[in-house]
Amino acid sequence: MENEGPMDDRSHLAHLLREGDVLVMTGAGLSTESGLPDYRGPDGVRRVEPMTVSEFRAGVAARQRYWSRSYVGWERFRTARPNEAHRHLAALEKAGLFETTITQNVDGLAQQAGSRDVIELHGNLGRAVCLNCRALADREWIQQQFATRNPVFAQDAERARDLPLRPDGDVDIDPSLIHDIELVVCPTCGSDLLKPDVVMFGESVPKDLVAHCFNRLERAKSLLVVGSSLGVMSGFRFARRAAERDIPIVLVNTGWSRAEHLATRHVHRPLSEVLQEAVWDVLGDVDRDASGDRRR
């Protein structure tokens, strides 16, 4: 597909939204203004190496390391709030300009902002799943149980709370803090194989969920990718399928994208700025504050 056309980027995006039946896909870049870091820099290079599912399954020590680091980071992760980009997308959905958002994010911020039809491709950090019996457990319950079982660690961990938060919601704490950790066990079967209910590296998105997303894509007139480099196949495959079906693809992010060669447009500007303009251009008088003045 050619990257040139008679309209500039802003006009092109407004036209796409007015046409309707847009499928939106979001990634970690959507939540960076909420204080949650993304995985890759502008050049596409991964900043951190997250724990893989095979490591997590391999032994108690790996799970002790994961949950200790997650315990420290959780309080900051859970208190993140939606930013303007989240709210602009929710406003566009509410106006009926698109129906579904497929998000690769695990933070739940799109729903908090008011988006209603959100498919969580990679799960949600707000819950855990038992790898033994598949029962679910609330993340807040795990946090409380972990502190009760490890009071010395919970006290020592206060020293690490200001360390940088990582994309998985954990903190890279000093390994010397992680000793004699008692893991929280599944409240249903008693196994210590509680894992965050997210697709870890090395796992696959459930086939039925992928099929549901493909079905939604088949009904779309266009694909709008916001804040994602599509660097992993779980997201990139939807851009590839869209290109195969001649469905226009617009990318909005400030860095590299794996789907650059497939896109109709690649808008290299801050997300909140681009989406604010879309709200102004497409919703017009609908987007007014209490005083009746358009917000700018």
Supply the mean pLDDT for the chain: 90
Question: What pTM value is reported for the model?
Answer: 0.89
**Contacting residues for 108 by C-beta, under 8 A, at least 6 apart:** 120, 124, 125, 126
pLDDT in tens, 261-295: 999 999 999 999 999 999 999 998 444 443 333 33
189 labelled binding-site residue: yes
Mean pLDDT, rounded, for 32-41:
81
For the cut 90, the answer to whether the pLDDT of residue 44 exceeds it is: no
Indicate which residue of 122, 179, 266, 268 is catalytic.
122
Question: Contact, 213 vs 119, CB < 8 A?
Answer: yes
Find, among 204, 151, 231, 183, the residue nearest to 70 by Cα.
183
pLDDT in tens, 54-82: 999 999 999 999 999 999 999 889 999 99
213 labelled binding-site residue: no
Weakest-pLDDT range from 37-51, 57-71, 88-102, 175-189: 37-51
pLDDT in tens, 123-149: 999 999 999 999 999 999 999 999 999
DSSP letter string, 117-179:
SEEETTEEEEEEEETTT--EEEHHHHHHHHHHH-HHHHHHGGGGTTSPBPTTS-B---GGG--
Question: What radius of gyration do the chain's Cα atoms show?
Answer: 21
Domain map of the chain by residue range?
1-36+82-122+204-290, 47-79+125-198
Q: How is domain 1-36+82-122+204-290 classified at the CATH fold level? A: Rossmann fold (3.40.50)
Can you give the pLDDT at residue 144? 97
Question: Contact, 125 vs 178, CB < 8 A?
Answer: no
Can you give the pLDDT at residue 42? 56
Residue 265 CA to its chain's centroid (Å) = 22
pLDDT in tens, 9-22: 999 999 999 999 99
pLDDT in tens, 203-240: 999 999 999 999 999 999 999 999 999 999 999 999 99
DSSP letter string, 169-213:
S-B---GGG--SPPPP--TTT--S-EEEEE--BT----HHHHHHH
Can you give the pLDDT at residue 47? 58
Quick check: is 88 catalytic?
Answer: no
